[in-house]
Amino acid sequence: MKSTRYGEWLGCALRGLVLGALLIAGHPLPLSADLREMSELQMSEITGSGFSRFAIDGNTVRADFNILANTYTEIASLKMGYWDKGSGAGWDQNWTDVQFGTPTQDMSLNGLYIEATFENLADSANRRLTGVFFGFREVSGDLRANFESLSKIGVNGAPDDQRAVTGTQTFVFNNSELAVSLQLEGDQQGIWVRFGEGTTSTVNP
């Protein structure tokens, strides 16, 4: 099994996409990130096959990329979305001891996409970004972390988890979606994750 280990790339990519959307929207949700120089070996292990599709449907703009990645990645701390929702400042996402994949089985991520929703998309004078989703359409493998704060969108009628403290938990993806959502307004304002249909979970001791 070929294992691609590029924790710095994956962590910076997640933070970078969210930060870019925030800069576009001018929204005051603060994030912290650090950049680390990648080695030539790490750079050589990253491959891509180009742009696949771009579509506009009403007020939604979506780009799909023909990208497949296999990785075992460890991240000591992953935090996104520190702000006050009305009950004091806190993190939307605060994960520690994060593992994407396992030492014996890489996580497979297929079909990168970025989807942005607007109000008045066709009106350049009044166009406004309201939310961004980005992630992979088909993911297989384990995501394990100590979830000190987890904001997760429910699927198939399941309730949302908002800044839930679930402890150490493993989510098993079975060709299911893994996405991050930045919502700039409404009940789901903030940074959320969405684990698609077919994803199961177990609580670890």
Residue 122 burial (10 A CB sphere; 0-12, 13-18, 19+): exposed
Cα–Cα distance measured from residue 132 to residue 112, given in angstroms and rounded to the nearest whole number: 14
Per-residue pLDDT of the chain (205 residues; tens, 9 = 90+): 444 443 444 444 444 454 444 444 444 445 454 556 667 676 666 655 456 889 999 999 999 999 999 999 999 999 999 999 888 999 999 999 999 999 999 999 999 999 999 999 999 899 999 999 999 999 999 999 999 999 999 998 889 999 999 999 999 999 999 999 999 988 889 999 999 999 999 998 7
Report which residue type is found at 185.
E
Cα 128 to Cα 108: distance, rounded to the nearest angstrom = 34
pTM score > 0.85 for this model?
A: no
- Cβ burial 151-168 (10 Å sphere, 16+ → b, else e): bbbeeeeeeebbbeeeee
The answer to whether the beta carbons of residues 161 and 151 sit under 8 Å apart is yes
SS3 106: coil
pLDDT at 126: 94
In this prediction, residue 175 carries a pLDDT of 97
List the domain boundaries for the chain.
7-203
